[in-house]
């Protein structure tokens, strides 16, 4: 499968979710930000590359394997894979518990939009 083979609605919905993740992250409490901004890595990539270019690069990197992305450049992570043209995401990492409000909100967002399931190894 190639990026161009994905349904454009799948890509557009994923871009929307990534944008929403940034918005959730920007509302993080001072207590959570003390550990570092929850999605500084994601926001940096999206600002320097643009939403569409970043999303395309992320999707292309996980077309043939499970791909890790560090939301905060460290231990708050998402693992992404594509199976049969559908994007699946798991949110976690060793710093997940450092963000007791923002981490679960991000995980729940992906779950509510149908992006979660057990990822293939």
Residue 88: both structure tokens together: 């699946």
The Cβ-side half-sphere exposure at 42, using a 13 Å CA radius, reads 26
pLDDT digits (tens, 9 = 90+) for 32-80: 999 889 999 999 999 999 999 999 999 999 988 899 999 998 999 999 9
CA 71/CA 38 separation, integer angstroms: 7
For residue 27, give both structure tokens: 């509302």
Chain-centre distance for alpha carbon 42: 8
Q: With bands split at pLDDT 50, 70 and 90, how would you rate the model's confidence at 118?
A: low
Contact 17, 39 (CB under 8 A): no
**Residue 90: is its pLDDT beyond 60?**
yes
pTM here is 0.90
Give whole-number Cα distances, 12 to 6, 17, 72, 84, in Å: 10, 9, 23, 17
């Amino acid at each position: 499968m190639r990026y161009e083979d994905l349904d454009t609605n799948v890509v557009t919905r994923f871009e929307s979710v990534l944008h929403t993740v940034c918005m959730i992250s920007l509302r993080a409490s001072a207590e959570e930000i003390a550990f570092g901004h929850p999605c500084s890595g994601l926001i940096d990539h999206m600002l320097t590359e643009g939403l569409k270019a970043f999303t395309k690069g992320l999707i292309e990197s996980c077309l043939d394997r499970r791909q890790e992305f560090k939301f905060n450049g460290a231990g708050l992570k998402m693992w992404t894979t594509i199976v049969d043209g559908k994007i699946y995401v798991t949110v976690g990492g060793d710093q997940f518990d450092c963000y007791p409000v923002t981490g679960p909100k991000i995980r729940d967002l992906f779950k509510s939009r149908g992006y979660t399931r057990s990822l293939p190894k």
